Structure 1
């Protein structure tokens, strides 16, 4: 069932003057929804539009040319047989990987500019989250600034389909990483899961970022933040293609994921410690919609 309510939208323009209040609003959104939007986020609009233009240019190329691109996929979403009404390009975001992926299909300057701007925004938000939880500012964000960060950048392209094989463009799932930043063009499709099997459509805003709590952040807050399940509906309502540009903030592979001791003074830990490499391997062994954190619960 789909419902109509307004998800939290947080204006970052007053960050320097009202940091305490912003931290409070962000923590409340992460606890209540596992999702919020940010506006006036500081990522220049020209960087966002340049990346969008480059992306559409890539997806308009002949199929045979796209198939030769490393990281390209069409309908087959993952290694477990998951399907969707989309095509995509998935890139590693560390500096070496971006250099390796440099080719005529993208401007290196545009990709790096977007990824670095998204990473800075993710780190700013993680800093506000940490402070809102009473932790040192850089408790979470250093995992994204480490040279060996395992963050990803994904472009999802949803062409219009008149008779989709499934309702989903990208099926119900949670993101395994720490934090996801997503922006899209003006074509709708993103929905987040609410309690009681309700789905909340997210109104597209090309100038805003959708912020999605990932599985690791749920563990790192001992379940206080919710890793929200979400999906993209097949694009049947428009003759215009839908494009989403998604930054997944992930830690270095050998990072041990656990809740900071400061958050465990009144509560027992809910999850046993594990490395990101272990959790990623566990994630890829399951289908898209499977619940994965239960395997790491202590009780």
Structure 2
């Protein structure tokens, strides 16, 4: 797959790479949604969110043929001539390459960022992608979003159950809200010589409630453990990987922790990943849930704020910054 010319790639001023080889592989917790024991699955999900902020989902019910069509359609889009992909550029949604955000972060990546409508379809405001994005790609993206959002809500309900909350929909209703600020991101990491280890997407936490990722068989995803050690996530084309986001960390009063992660590129194979970000409505007021605060003697680790307020603050930060520090209470700092 030819995506960017050699000259264009070499113009990227990439962040320094700290080590020449990938870190050791992670022992990723696994949750089987089809096992038939919801209580056991809820306990496993809660433990994974507490210990790692990250886990793998199997038995998810998303058809393999849909995943195959998605991968083929994404490959076809990124194989388009650069001028055609540039027609899909938009701000902040649409196509972009190399630059991640507006504050100087760079990476060995090109991507398509789409808003998710209330009906569960992928859409770029202002029809930014019309004419550049093949209609078959839009159709498969819409089908994929609908399937993954259903699975995401199942996982969010298990999280609530694992926390012992009476309201099992306390998280999922935010993602299903007609004004939910959810997004879909399709990342393409061009091949790199195996002798080089490049920063594809620098270290960060995800802002939203939950991130659900699926990738092809090229590795590169890395996460940090609680002690700060980096580990690599083995590729798995049949499973989904779930990240706890910053908003969920706030809602759970810090019991679930958003996982710091990155993508490093050192493969002759391109990596394609598709991430569904489940976010709350912009005006939603976020604060630790009262039932979880009560279990800590009334200590609130975060003040109340709206999702819009958080996003406005986050847009002013670098990728690796701790975006939640300005929302912590004095007791946490």
| TM-score relative to the length of structure 2 | 0.85
1:77 aligned residue (100, 114, 119): 100
Q: Answer yes or no: is 1:178 the counterpart of 2:204.
A: no
Alignment of 1:127-138 (within 5 A): 127-135=157-165, 136-138=167-169
- Report the Cα distance in structure 1 between the residues aligned to 2:99 and 2:303, rounded to whole angstroms: 32
Counterpart contact for 1:85–1:164, Cα < 8 Å = no
Q: Give the Cα separation in 2 of the matches to 1:111 and 1:98.
A: 9
Equivalent residue, structure 2, for 1:61: 80
Cα deviation 1:183-212 (Å, max 9, x = unaligned): 000000000011333111111111100000
3-state secondary structure, aligned to 1:192: strand
Tell me which moved more, 259-268 or 140-149: 259-268
TM normalised by structure 1 equals: 0.94
Structure 1 spans left out of the alignment, 5+ residues:
none
Give the paired residue count.
Answer: 295
Deviates more, 1:278-287 or 1:45-54: 45-54
Q: 1:110 aligns with which of 111, 126, 140?
A: 140
Q: CA deviation at 1:49?
A: 1.5
C-alpha displacement at 1:31, in angstroms? Answer: 0.1
Distance 2:267 2:74 in 1: 21
Instruction: Tell me if structure 2 keeps the 8 A contact 1:58–1:106.
Output: no
In structure 1, C-alpha distance between the alignment counterparts of 2:110 and 2:174, rounded to whole Å: 29
**1:13 paired residue among 30, 34, 48:** 34
SS of the residue corresponding to residue 97 of structure 2 reads strand
Distance 1:192 1:106, change over 3 A: farther
| Separation in 1, partners of 2:272, 2:283 | 32
Q: CA RMSD in A?
A: 1.8
| Mapping of residues 198-213 of structure 1, within 5 Å | 198-213=229-244
The 8 Å contact of residues 88 and 130 in structure 2, kept in 1 or not, is answered as: no
Aligned twin of 2:111 = 88
Cα 1:5–1:246 shift into 2, 3 Å = closer
- 1:31 aligned to 2:63? no
Residue 226 of structure 1 deviates from its aligned partner by 0.8
Of residues 222, 233, 237, the one that matches 1:191 is 222
Q: Is 1:179–1:211's contact at 8 Å kept on the other side of the alignment?
A: yes
Q: Does 1:98 align with 2:123?
A: yes
Structure-1 separation of matches of 2:261 and 2:313: 20
Q: After TM superposition, give the deviation of residue 97 of structure 1 in Å.
A: 6.2
What is the CA deviation profile of residues 117-147 of structure 1, one whole-angstrom value per residue up to 9, with x for unaligned ones?
Answer: 1111111100000011111110110001111
Give 1:163 deviation, angstroms. Answer: 8.7
Partner residue of 1:22 out of 37, 41, 45: 41
The 1-side partners of 2:52 and 2:226 are apart by 9
Q: Could you tell me how far 1:102 is from its partner in structure 2?
A: 5.3
Say if 1:189 and 1:202, in contact at 8 Å, map to a contact too: yes
Deviates most, 46-55 or 289-298: 46-55
Range 261-270 or range 286-295, more displaced: 261-270
Distance in 2 of aligned mates of 1:261 and 1:118: 29
The match for 2:62 among 31, 43, 58 is: 43
